[in-house]
Amino acid sequence: MTPRREKRRRELLDAARDIFAEKGFVAATVDDIVGRTGVARGTFYLYFDDKLQVFGELVSDFFARVAGSIRPIELGAGAPTPREQLRANLGRVVSLCLAEPGNVKIAFSTAFGVDAALDERLASFYASLHTFMDETLETGQRIGLIRAGDRRLMVSIAIGGFEQLLQDAVSGAVPSDEAELVDALMAFLESGLLV
Amino acid sequence: MTPRREKRRRELLDAARDIFAEKGFVAATVDDIVGRTGVARGTFYLYFDDKLQVFGELVSDFFARVAGSIRPIELGAGAPTPREQLRANLGRVVSLCLAEPGNVKIAFSTAFGVDAALDERLASFYASLHTFMDETLETGQRIGLIRAGDRRLMVSIAIGGFEQLLQDAVSGAVPSDEAELVDALMAFLESGLLV
Amino acid sequence: MTPRREKRRRELLDAARDIFAEKGFVAATVDDIVGRTGVARGTFYLYFDDKLQVFGELVSDFFARVAGSIRPIELGAGAPTPREQLRANLGRVVSLCLAEPGNVKIAFSTAFGVDAALDERLASFYASLHTFMDETLETGQRIGLIRAGDRRLMVSIAIGGFEQLLQDAVSGAVPSDEAELVDALMAFLESGLLV
Amino acid sequence: MTPRREKRRRELLDAARDIFAEKGFVAATVDDIVGRTGVARGTFYLYFDDKLQVFGELVSDFFARVAGSIRPIELGAGAPTPREQLRANLGRVVSLCLAEPGNVKIAFSTAFGVDAALDERLASFYASLHTFMDETLETGQRIGLIRAGDRRLMVSIAIGGFEQLLQDAVSGAVPSDEAELVDALMAFLESGLLV
DNA sequence: CATGAATGAGTATTCATTCAT
DNA sequence: AATGAATGAATACTCATTCAT
């Protein structure tokens, strides 16, 4: 891959991310993407097989980056408290998401059910996310950091709350100050809503 | 509106709900809907202006029913405790949602960004939901039932967690026992995840 | 199938036959076909799945009609001589082909190798034609009407000569008088070219 | 033309012949051709004006080689009999064709009607072939070697039978033994099919 | 009321050909 | 000479919506 090719490919991916975020996967046309990039229609197909591949690549990259920003909780003697480590993880993910609002919109609010291949890809991401969370919670329960309860339900609620908050933050529905968001999430995890 | 007309309209709405739930708004075709109903294509347009109107009506009805199942928390002397009333409200909504999985799929997981008019309609539903929740939380904070914190963020997290749990329940990703779901939600609201 | 539908379908088939004959399968566009028929583009797809289906139907029908015009040689006492029956068969096929020049062009000179599905269809027609001819020649050899020789080679040469003559006749390269064509074919079958 | 250039040109022609034979003129892409040759796309256009020119050159060369392998029948005293000369001519053409199956496929079974310019080129080849055959038959009739009859029809049938046999031979539909093919053709020319 | 035939705008994708490097 | 990135015209097919019957 020559640098030139790399650059053009990057331009197309960036344009695609913006367009997908604005219009959604179905409504976005290849014409929109090449139009924003300023290249001809055929050029798109020199870099990607089809619309779905670009989408998949964007989502894959983003999820990989999110996953990469999470550090496993260390329980060793000199390590920060688990709560501090948890807060640090939340901070990194929130920070990354606030920096890439387009990817948040794409990854979290694109329709399931529009394209079978797309569905499968999204489903596999969520499946591995759930597995990871479940294992983490299991450890937490064992060491007495996480309360008892059906982990699948806990994971479902936690992921939903987290994603919704981020979606609302990047869409402007709620304030998007990183510290505030992390505080709100921590407070929820610490004590729920009720006094 | 004659009873006959009413019945036909109902059949079309039911078919549309199933199709939308299976394929999503965009992928669902008017052909699918009339095909399932057993009427001709043109008939659809005798009852609805267009595809979007049917969708909007389904979502409107469902949201109205959800809203109708929620009773304001009463603080009077002879009333049950606020926690009991909250649990009862959660129970009614969960029960309603489990009874109408198709509507849950439609209302909670349909993509924003696919159709501008659709977006607006969904946004207005969520806006009023948020307003209602915000007011409820405000009351709760005043009487010392809800902890302090930015209500918008609390609402965002709570709604997200609630919707995700219901989506996962109707899609089979998590168990769909009403009591378990309500317990899990109450536990989250009572004490979050951490010990 | 209503009469109206039947008629429209017929119109499209007729237009398609003419267009295919003029431009060939690949160069012919659906636009050409609907343009000649005077209907909208989408209408085409109400009657046929795709371009290939129309082509296949035209070729199928024509080959079926050709096959139907051939009567097995009867050897009974009161029957005309085999030579007379052969000549009559040739006459019927030639007559049919001269009456449908478009179908002759389509059926005999459309490219193999353009579309895999198309190839298969054409190949199966030719396979059954070869089988039929081979069996006929076998009978002929047994009763002493056909000279000895590798039947596959004889069939190949005979079919090739026959088709080429018909193609040239409908394209105007050679005279297209039915009796003359039949005479020429009979003469070839009777005694070849050499004295 | 440097030897290097000549060699590169030859490589492209060889690749083109194979690709055309495999896929047909329309389905064959310039990409296929340069891909097999191992050069870049642009290089193709340094050697040929366009796809059609390559095709035309392949067909021209082949037809020229076929024509060159045919020796006029000599009637002199010491010459072999006309039948022997005819058989020798058939043998040379059959031999050449069996040695170049790709060219046979290209030359004999490429669709008319796909490309106007292509049509014209093919038509002119066939026109000169017909003229040559017609003149040859005329001589044959004058010297009593060829029976009476409309020469155009005789040529049409003979060419069609000959080409079909060769096509079937190179495609594997019939045995491709040179002697057998020549025998079958001679037998047909000598006495047709009927006893 | 109901039908279903017809419409036509809209979109992904291919590929021969050009041209800057 | 050679490269290969870029172009953009061309085309099959879908589907919401209309309307004559």
Interatomic CA–C1' length for residue D40 and nucleotide E21, angstroms: 14
Facing residue for A156 by CB, picked from B112, B168, B195: B168
CA distance linking residue D66 with residue D69, whole number of Å: 5
Q: Work out the pLDDT band at A31, boundaries 50, 70, 90.
A: very high
Q: Between residues D161 and D2, which one has the greater pLDDT?
A: D161
- How many Cβ atoms are within 10 Å of C77's Cβ, its own excluded? 5
Mutate to test the interface with B, among A157, A164, A166, A174 (most CBs of B within 10 A): A157
Query: Which residues on B lie below 8 Å from A109 (Cβ)?
Result: 111-113
CA distances from C102 to B54, B57, D8 (A): 50, 55, 43
Give C33→chain D minimum CA distance, Å.
16
Query: Which residues on C lie below 8 Å from D130 (Cβ)?
Result: 173
Q: Check pLDDT > 70 for residue B4.
A: yes
Q: Residues B24-31: what's their mean pLDDT?
A: 89
- How many Cβ atoms are within 10 Å of B66's Cβ, its own excluded? 19
Q: Check pLDDT > 80 for residue D43.
A: yes
> Does the CB of D124 have a partner CB in chain C at under 8 Å?
no
Tell me what pLDDT residue A111 has.
57
The structure tokens 């636009």 sit at: C31
| B165/A146 CB distance under 8 A | no
CA distance linking residue A152 with residue A158, whole number of Å: 10
Q: Work out the pLDDT band at A39, boundaries 50, 70, 90.
A: very high
Residue A11, both tokens: 């331009």
What is the SS3 assignment for D194? strand
- Phi/psi of residue B194, nearest 5 degrees: -85, 150
A90: which residues sit within 8 A by CB, 6+ positions away?
Answer: A182, A185, A186
Q: Residues A77-98: what's their mean pLDDT?
A: 94
> Does the CB of A46 have a partner CB in chain B at under 8 Å?
no
| Strand F footprint nucleotides (protein C-beta < 7 Å) | 1-20
- Same structural domain, D44 and D56: no
DSSP for C137-151, please give it: HHHHHHTTSB-SS-H
Tell me what pLDDT residue B112 has.
65
Q: Check pLDDT > 60 for residue C111.
A: no
Asked if residue C5 keeps its beta carbon closer than 7 A to nucleic acid strand E, the reply is: yes
Question: pTM of the prediction?
Answer: 0.86
Which of A27, A48, A69 is the last residue before a domain boundary?
A48
- Same structural domain, C41 and C89: no
* Three-state SS sequence of D135-190: HHHHHHHHCCCECCCCHHHHHHHHHHHHHHHHHHHHCCCCCCCHHHHHHHHHHHHH
Q: Residues B28-48: what's their mean pLDDT?
A: 96
- Same structural domain, D31 and D95: no
- Same structural domain, B62 and B106: yes
Q: Residues D16-43: what's their mean pLDDT?
A: 93
Q: Which chain A residue has its CA at the smallest distance from B131's CA?
A: A173
Tell me what pLDDT residue C15 has.
96
What are A101-131's pLDDT values in tens digits? 999 998 887 756 666 667 777 788 888 889 9
Q: Which chain B residue has its CA at the smallest distance from A150's CA?
A: B184
| A164/B181 CB distance under 8 A | no
Q: Residues C180-190: what's their mean pLDDT?
A: 96
Q: Work out the pLDDT band at A68, boundaries 50, 70, 90.
A: very high
Q: Work out the pLDDT band at B155, boundaries 50, 70, 90.
A: very high
The Cβ-side half-sphere exposure at C182, using a 13 Å CA radius, reads: 19
Asked if residue C41 keeps its beta carbon closer than 7 A to nucleic acid strand E, the reply is: yes
Share of chain B above pLDDT 90, in %: 64
Q: Which span out of A115-119, B33-37, B50-54, D144-148 was modeled with the highest average pLDDT?
A: B33-37
Q: Check pLDDT > 60 for residue C1.
A: yes
Interatomic CA–C1' length for residue B126 and nucleotide E10, angstroms: 32
Angle formed by the axes of helices C82-99 and C151-170, nearest 10°: 40
Tell me what pLDDT residue C193 has.
80
- Same structural domain, D79 and D135: yes
The residue type of B141 is Q
- CATH number of the domain bearing residue A1: 1.10.10.60
Facing residue for B160 by CB, picked from A113, A161, A195: A161
- Domain of C68, in residue numbers: 52-192
Query: Which residues on D lie below 8 Å from C159 (Cβ)?
Result: 164
What are C36-74's pLDDT values in tens digits? 999 999 999 999 999 989 998 998 899 899 989 999 888
Contact A170, B173 (CB under 8 A): no
What are B109-127's pLDDT values in tens digits? 775 666 667 777 778 888 8
Q: Work out the pLDDT band at C174, boundaries 50, 70, 90.
A: very high
Q: Between residues B195 and C50, which one has the greater pLDDT?
A: C50
B94: which residues sit within 8 A by CB, 6+ positions away?
Answer: B166, B178, B181, B182, B185
Contact B167, A167 (CB under 8 A): no
- Name subunits touching C (3+ CB pairs < 8 A): D
Domain count, chain D: 2
What are D84-96's pLDDT values in tens digits? 999 999 999 999 9
Q: Work out the pLDDT band at B165, boundaries 50, 70, 90.
A: very high
Tell me what pLDDT residue B91 has.
97
> Does the CB of B52 have a partner CB in chain A at under 8 Å?
no
- Phi/psi of residue D28, nearest 5 degrees: -70, 135
CA distance linking residue A12 with residue A28, whole number of Å: 13
Q: Work out the pLDDT band at C138, boundaries 50, 70, 90.
A: very high
Tell me what pLDDT residue C183 has.
97
Mutate to test the interface with D, among C156, C167, C191 (most CBs of D within 10 A): C156
Q: Work out the pLDDT band at C147, boundaries 50, 70, 90.
A: very high
Tell me what pLDDT residue B113 has.
62
| Mean pLDDT, all residues of chain C | 90
Tell me what pLDDT residue D113 has.
62
Q: Work out the pLDDT band at C134, boundaries 50, 70, 90.
A: very high
What are D158-178's pLDDT values in tens digits? 999 999 999 999 999 999 999
D167-190 in b/e form (b: 16+ CB < 10 A) is: bbbbeebbebeeebbbbbbbbbbe
Interatomic CA–C1' length for residue C42 and nucleotide E8, angstroms: 7
Contact D/A (≥3 CB pairs under 8 Å) = no
Which of B17, B33, B48 is the last residue before a domain boundary?
B48
CA distance linking residue A106 with residue A110, whole number of Å: 6
Tell me what pLDDT residue C109 has.
75
Tell me what pLDDT residue C148 has.
93
Interatomic CA–C1' length for residue B45 and nucleotide F18, angstroms: 10
- Same structural domain, D107 and D159: yes
Share of chain D above pLDDT 90, in %: 66
Please report the residues numbered 68 through 107 in chain D whose beta carbons come closer than 8 angstroms to any beta carbon of chain C.
Answer: 83
- Same structural domain, B1 and B80: no
- Same structural domain, C61 and C121: yes
The structure tokens 């609402």 sit at: B155
| C195/D144 CB distance under 8 A | yes
Residue A114 DSSP symbol? S
Facing residue for B145 by CB, picked from A22, A110, A194: A194
Tell me what pLDDT residue A112 has.
65
- Same structural domain, C158 and C184: yes
Tell me what pLDDT residue D111 has.
58
Q: Check pLDDT > 90 for residue C24.
A: no
- Same structural domain, C27 and C60: no
Give D136→chain C minimum CA distance, Å.
12
Residue B44, both tokens: 């659809």
- CATH number of the domain bearing residue C88: 1.10.357.10
Query: Which residues on C lie below 8 Å from D150 (Cβ)?
Result: 174-175, 180, 184
Contact D50, D118 (CB under 8 A): no
Asked if residue B54 keeps its beta carbon closer than 7 A to nucleic acid strand F, the reply is: no
The Cβ-side half-sphere exposure at D139, using a 13 Å CA radius, reads: 10
D172: which residues sit within 8 A by CB, 6+ positions away?
Answer: none
Tell me what pLDDT residue B49 has.
95
CA nearest to nucleotide F12 C1': residue: C30
Give A38→chain B minimum CA distance, Å.
23
Query: Which residues on C lie below 8 Å from D159 (Cβ)?
Result: 164
Instruction: Indicate the burial class of D163 (C-beta count within 10 angstroms; 0-12, 13-18, 19 or more).
Output: buried
- Same structural domain, C137 and C108: yes
| B153/A83 CB distance under 8 A | no
Q: Which chain C residue has its CA at the smallest distance from D149's CA?
A: C184
Query: Which residues on B lie below 8 Å from A191 (Cβ)?
Result: 147, 191-192, 194
- Same structural domain, D41 and D68: no
CA nearest to nucleotide E6 C1': residue: C43
Q: Work out the pLDDT band at B40, boundaries 50, 70, 90.
A: very high
CA distance linking residue B12 with residue B46, whole number of Å: 11
